[in-house]
Structure 1
């Protein structure tokens, strides 16, 4: 295996059981107990403690199955507002110790690892881990290596509450030889099956394989992983999130429905949330897509291109209605909806429609400003479309006011 002599290092920090750890920060009673965090309106486990994992509970498992495996568990509703508070506190701590930091996800950061004079990279990893535990209260694991891919493999293998820097070629080789190729992010069942006939089962096998073979089997993305495993840092650290190519809002209904009025209420809710995000990023949509998923396993999709890109509620709703009708399967229970804005362009560069009434445009803009001002002052969704009145439970439950998609600035979704 070829490893460059460069001393450049990249770190990966990953919080341990982050959602559970965040709940424990504000409630010490949960320490050392089997804890599950619920999403999907309380229907499934989206995170679990190591104690609950030991009982066999898996991420994404329905709550009724989790209760059978772990009846003495403590199950709490997710609170992404609180998780974001701790996430940004962790981000601040990492930035104090690194000149370049990528906010990859709510509980993961990549950073340029630069040890201070007289400090080793191993002690830097330990300092970062211990500082966040002390100042934020969240246990994390830190891995440092020559590339992003290696750093993540190291941190994953050092969990929980580990800190490890692996820079020497023989240490890297030993680590890669001990890990199955599926430990690499981006290589799961299908890709592993393509590699298996060629005798590629471990991370080391992939690193030693012919680069051209890897590219033919896994495309250019696989070749990037090959270079990274061999110590060549070809994946950059992004200190700012790249511009969105599309924006989406939606997800599970929690309780499936075949009622047209309820589906329409969800469409309006998702549209209002989507417009919030478009306004934040200063973009307008040239195309909208509505996708429905059904309990039968079927799916329906409707799509419409707008004459002129816009972020106006009335115009987007007019476009989304026929999309919903096309995606709708009458009488079939729907479980998920996603509303997607595509062909995004700068909002301030979108011209008015050729036949658009200037007075109607001015009224729509005035309504949007008032709605935004009221909600900024009185609370999110204080002022919303009456169509959403058919979803009282959703607006009554504070856990539904804020979603992980609403945490801005992350690279990963």
Structure 2
């Protein structure tokens, strides 16, 4: 049975949410982001015409498009709208995977005998628009890679079907940058060797690609040849992420406990960023030697940045620990999660901070989660 995998992507999602709230923004150049030293979280097609792109420093974006209106953004609203879109799609398809806050994979394999898959997806897209007011694009093909590339090529408000016998024709002329796993470093490496189009990459011997890019070479070569057997994983919403530490001996050593909390926050934040989560509620728990357990929490702006979350954790711990009594356990829980944001705080982070955390995460990816960290988390 031929697979039928669709990819759906909400068009300029944050901008569309703002326009749904305020119709006066329709057709105007919009940048979603925060602060002069912040970066662009999202931008309208009107600003992209001038070269503005996501993750670009706000100052540079404003030089390119001085007439753009900068909106700080409302992650709470975007999360609610994402949940609404998810519910609309989930009601109409057999298998749904939520890949991020604004994109989805759908497995319609075998459904064509009941109803044409392309027509099915067209009706799903229309239902999203009707129920939420948000424009959405989709592409339908035999696997995730081709359908995702297809969505990108069809935007805005695109609807595209790439049949199996047309996959190579569709992919061949495109830049290798269109392949989801090709970042700037890989692109620069391959382009220096003359490998700039997907066709050239697909015709390069797989052994050569492996030597050039390492362990991911085979996967990259397969994607260039339109091969991707990755399944659509049914969606389930993660509620929280947490950790706690029970001491071998009850303690009143505040310095040691702050150090442990620092290490906890760092490890949880690394996991958050690896899984592309942002958190909006911070909970700290302590258990005294007499087994009395107390918790406190803060509602915060969405983030996955160590330095931001650690500040709140320290404040909560200070408010919690009010007795002159030994502690046997401390714990942290992050809840109110929203999935799929590649930055730590879309509306507050500076380019320097984002670069710092990305570099640290790459080191941890390669050498282990304990290979680099804050000094405050090592004094134990």
Shorter-normalised TM-score: what interval?
Answer: 0.5 to 0.7
Structure 1 unmatched runs, 5+: 1-5, 244-276, 287-305, 309-313, 324-337, 345-356, 389-404
1:362 to partner: Cα distance? 2.9
Match of residue 31 from structure 1: 26
Match of residue 243 from structure 2: 284
8 Å Cα contact 1:12-1:108 kept in structure 2: yes
The whole-number CA distance in structure 1 between the counterparts of 2:36 and 2:19 is 21
Structure 2 unmatched runs, 5+: 249-253, 272-285, 301-308, 317-334, 344-380
Match of residue 350 from structure 1: none
Report Cα offsets for 1:124-169 as digits up to 9, x if no partner: 3322222211211111110111111111111111111101111132
Match of residue 372 from structure 2: none
1:339 paired to 2:266: yes
The whole-number CA distance in structure 2 between the counterparts of 1:121 and 1:179 is 25
Instruction: Give secondary structure in 2 for the equivalent of 1:340.
Output: helix
Instruction: Give secondary structure in 1 for the equivalent of 2:258.
Output: helix
1:120 paired to 2:116: yes
Residue 161 of structure 1, aligned match among 147, 151, 157: 157
8 Å Cα contact 2:144-2:228 kept in structure 1: yes
The whole-number CA distance in structure 1 between the counterparts of 2:9 and 2:124 is 11
Residue 56 of structure 1, aligned match among 38, 51, 59: 51
1:56 to partner: Cα distance? 3.0
1:339 to partner: Cα distance? 3.3
1:13 paired to 2:3: no
Instruction: Give secondary structure in 1 for the equivalent of 2:81.
Output: helix
Q: Which moved more, 1:223-232 or 1:86-95?
A: 223-232
1:230 to partner: Cα distance? 3.5
1:71 to partner: Cα distance? 3.0
Instruction: Give secondary structure in 2 for the equivalent of 1:8.
Output: coil
Match of residue 362 from structure 2: none
Structure-2 change in CA distance of 1:55 and 1:200 (3 Å): closer
Q: RMSD of the alignment, in Å?
A: 3.9
The whole-number CA distance in structure 1 between the counterparts of 2:270 and 2:54 is 34
The whole-number CA distance in structure 1 between the counterparts of 2:160 and 2:256 is 50
Instruction: Give secondary structure in 2 for the equivalent of 1:362.
Output: coil
Q: Which moved more, 1:128-137 or 1:52-61?
A: 52-61
Structure-2 change in CA distance of 1:58 and 1:316 (3 Å): farther
The whole-number CA distance in structure 1 between the counterparts of 2:159 and 2:104 is 14
1:191 paired to 2:186: yes
Match of residue 362 from structure 1: 291
Structure 1 residues 7-406: aligned runs within 5 Å: 7-39=2-34, 43-114=38-109, 115=111, 117=113, 119-169=115-165, 171-196=166-191, 199-240=194-235, 280-281=240-241, 283-284=242-243, 318-319=258-259, 339-341=266-268, 359-360=288-289, 362-363=291-292, 365-366=293-294, 368=295, 371-372=296-297, 387=315, 406=336
The whole-number CA distance in structure 1 between the counterparts of 2:11 and 2:81 is 13
Structure-2 change in CA distance of 1:67 and 1:187 (3 Å): closer
1:406 to partner: Cα distance? 4.7
Structure-2 change in CA distance of 1:343 and 1:120 (3 Å): closer
Structure-2 change in CA distance of 1:235 and 1:166 (3 Å): same
Structure-2 change in CA distance of 1:412 and 1:321 (3 Å): closer
More relative contact order, 1 or 2 (CA 8 Å, 6+ apart): 2
1:240 to partner: Cα distance? 4.5
Structure-2 change in CA distance of 1:75 and 1:197 (3 Å): closer
Structure-2 change in CA distance of 1:63 and 1:229 (3 Å): closer
Structure-2 change in CA distance of 1:38 and 1:315 (3 Å): same
1:38 to partner: Cα distance? 1.5
8 Å Cα contact 1:42-1:63 kept in structure 2: yes
Instruction: Give secondary structure in 1 for the equivalent of 2:31.
Output: strand
